[in-house]
Amino acid sequence: MSSTPAPPEEVRILVPSGMLGGGFPAGTVERGLALGADVIAVDGGSTDSGPHYLGSATAKTSAAAVARDLRSLLGASATAGIPLVIGSCGTGGTDAGVDWVAGIVEGIVREQGLALTVARIYSEQDAADLVAQLDAGRIHPLAPQGPLDAATLESCTHIVGMMGAEPIMEALEAGADVVLAGRATDTAVIAAVPLMRGMPAGPTWHAAKIVECGGQCTTDPRSGGVLATIDAGGFTIEPLDPAVACTPTSVAAHMLYETVDPFQMREPAGTLLVREATYRALDERRVRVEGSRFEPADQHTIKLEGARISGYATMSFSAIRDPHILGSIENWAALLEQVLTARVRQTLGISPPEYEIDLRLYGYDAVLESIDPATGPPREVGVMLLVHAADQATATSVAKIANPLMLHLPTRDMAYLPSLAFAYSPAETERGPSYEFALHHVVDVDSPTGMFRLRLPEGATR
Amino acid sequence: MSAEHLPTLGELALEVRSKNAGPFWVTMELFMRDAEGYALVADEEFLDEDVVARLYDLDPADILFFRIPELNVVKVSFPRPVAQGSLRDRDVHAGQHHVPLAALVPGRR
């Protein structure tokens, strides 16, 4: 595998699912291997579930679910002698996330006696290094964000750089069979091997985008994985579940999913352009895509993601079924906020913004608030009170002051005290630190691998 | 207003959906059934930046429109008023934000 033969005519990528730990039907991997897969690639994370996972450097998935998927994938990699590439390990792609997945991998490799060289690529960034880049004018905001200041960088609990395909290619060239990457673009994980083997950039990046969510580009998004075959003229997509199909519409429509702009996508090394791409059915299950272009950028950029603690939250949840209160629920909520604010000032001597309250009327307008098109009184309402403060004790104190109001507050015209329906006891739940995303910026870099640290086991050779 | 029920976009479409596109953007798609349905929603007299700005309480200048006849799709993207998962974000995946758009009734602007 170490010598450099002539480029192959095509490279086949097996994507078993949209996320490591998400599971895939039995037979998915076997079918991909039978079709001649050259690499298995799967995404291990995302910002999709919010800032908590990056901010706290913990995973959204359970170790048991990740281990279940890995047993199958590592076994397939060893049996077929093809690389396994996993990106954005541990959800946020932090160093702790990479080490967490590596620990699970090592356990399985030992247990199954697999001969696999496992590389780790760390993508976590030091705030002080980034402040120097900022001072040198090399960090730029992405819309809708404004310019960055050093304090914002320093306030983050974790910052990751999103790698392109190059650090993964470097790990594979150094002899890795399994690459556990920190934060990477979803597409880089899939594009690394085909690019290494000489496949053209346009079809490679486009295919990578189409298959990054596994079965999402098929007629049944819940189905198992997909196989992308890339060649000099384009690429072909085929579902691994024999009962499922890819159609020109299901494939083309995946460019819409979670993208701001469906026709162009920026990668660290350039921009994928798909407006001229054509989607054609080869048969009932396979789709051929041609005409995708990749325009290399003048400046290689690495996108930064960072999260920080915005405070600590305590939640209380009660519910109202009494039609009289429901008939004027907005007035009741306004009264609660007014009485609560006064009692907190009187008891704790603090006022917003020293703490914040977010009172949500589930069943009325909690989700969409002022943009909700519906009208009319609800049948019942769940009242969620979220108190946010600089420390947990203050947040909980405010929530406890709210407790008698969440239980007994009447509307102004009621002559008696209602008792509302707490959902559980105790009513207050401490949610711990609340995180927020603080970065949406890119750094200009001279080397596509410079911000990332490759670690191979002792004695690993090419 | 007549007593006759005029169908909403949600009823006319195959699917109307919304989703976060990274922590700072929301994107929505109207998947229409055919060219006729597409023509309805691609008509700027019916649906444009100003209409979406009014529905979602946004600045029209922040809204991006993509009209894609090949897929019978109109796609609309805009910056999230509150970053994903921050204090006061009530729809972490922005997956319920299609509802005001889906409630639009063609012929009644």
Q: Where are the domains of chain A?
A: 10-123+163-297, 309-437
Short-list A359, A307, A354, CA closest to A332:
A359
Residues of chain A found within 8 Å of residue B75, distances taken between Cβ atoms: 256, 262
The count of other CB atoms within 10 Å of the CB of residue B54 is 12
Distance from C-alpha of A179 to C-alpha of A175, rounded to nearest angstrom = 10
Residue B92 falls inside a structural domain:
no
> ∠ at Cα B74 (A266, A224), nearest 5°?
65
The residue type of A233 is G
Rounded mean pLDDT of A283-303?
98
Residue of A nearest to B98 (CA): A368
Task: Indicate if the pLDDT at residue A342 is higher than 50.
Answer: yes
Contact: A49, B24; criterion CB under 8 Å: no
Cβ-proximal residues to A404 (8 Å cutoff; 6+ apart), any chain: none
Residue B64 falls inside a structural domain:
yes
Average pLDDT, chain A: 96
pLDDT (tens digit per residue) in A14-35: 999 999 999 999 999 999 999 9
Short-list A399, A388, A391, A311, CA closest to A355:
A388
Q: According to the model, what pLDDT value does residue A3 have?
A: 58
The parent domain of residue B20 ranges over 9-85
Q: According to the model, what pLDDT value does residue B1 have?
A: 47
Residue of B nearest to A262 (CA): B66
Least CB–CB distance from B85: residue in A51, A256, A388: A51
Q: Which band of pLDDT confidence, cut at 50, 70 and 90, is reported for residue A300?
A: very high
Residues of chain B found within 8 Å of residue A388, distances taken between Cβ atoms: 87
Rounded mean pLDDT of A58-69?
98
Residue of A nearest to B18 (CA): A258
- A&B contacts, CB < 8 Å: 102
**Domain total in chain B:** 1
Q: According to the model, what pLDDT value does residue A353 have?
A: 96
B80: tokens are 């999230």
Phi, psi of A236 (to 5 degrees): -125, 140
Rounded to a whole number of angstroms, the distance from the CA of B12 to the nearest CA of chain A is 18
pLDDT (tens digit per residue) in A225-241: 999 999 999 999 999 99
Residues of A with CB under 8 A from a CB of B: 47-52, 143-145, 249, 252-253, 256-263, 305, 310-311, 356, 358, 360, 366-373, 386, 388, 434-437, 440
Distance from C-alpha of A100 to C-alpha of A116, rounded to nearest angstrom = 18
Task: Indicate if the pLDDT at residue A328 is higher than 50.
Answer: yes
Q: Exposed, middle or buried: residue A266 (CB in 10 Å: 0-12, 13-18, 19+)?
A: middle
pLDDT (tens digit per residue) in A153-166: 999 999 999 999 99
B88: tokens are 């006061």
Residue B109 falls inside a structural domain:
no
Helices (H), A284-362: 323-326, 329-348
DSSP structural state of residue A117: -
Distance from C-alpha of A129 to C-alpha of A153, rounded to nearest angstrom = 10
- Divide the 109 residues of chain B into consecutive groups of 10 and give the mean pLDDT of each group: 78 96 97 97 97 97 97 97 94 97 87
The DSSP string of A5-40 is -SPPSEEEEEE--SSTTS---TTHHHHHHHTT-SEE
pLDDT (tens digit per residue) in A358-385: 999 999 999 999 999 988 889 999 999 9
Contact: A144, B62; criterion CB under 8 Å: yes
Rounded to a whole number of angstroms, the distance from the CA of B40 to the nearest CA of chain A is 20
pLDDT (tens digit per residue) in A418-432: 999 999 999 999 999
> What architecture does CATH give domain A309-437?
2-Layer Sandwich (3.30)
Contact: B20, A258; criterion CB under 8 Å: yes
Distance from C-alpha of A462 to C-alpha of A391, rounded to nearest angstrom = 51
